[in-house]
Amino acid sequence: MISRAPRSHYCFFPKTASIIGTFLVATTTSITGNASLGVLSLAVLLVVALVFLLLQKDPTRN
């Protein structure tokens, strides 16, 4: 897939997310021995991302 967006930090995040997500699931699964908890660890990342999104200020508002 070729992105038409200019090269910036946006090109970095999908690659990093795929590595971190896989590492987190594998690590959690190997520590607990339960694959369901490994997948549940991704839910923790999603909740953290939601918190960060909710804390962002609207740049169009003064």
Nearest to 27 by CA among 16, 14, 18, 37: 37
* pLDDT tens string 28-40: 999 999 999 988 9
Task: Round to whole Å and give the CA distance between 62 and 57.
Answer: 10
Task: Round to whole Å and give the CA distance between 52 and 44.
Answer: 13
pLDDT of residue 34: 92
Task: Round to whole Å and give the CA distance between 16 and 19.
Answer: 5
pLDDT of residue 25: 92
pLDDT at 26 over 90: yes
pLDDT of residue 5: 57
Task: Round to whole Å and give the CA distance between 47 and 16.
Answer: 18
Report which of residues 25 and 9 the model is more confident about: 25
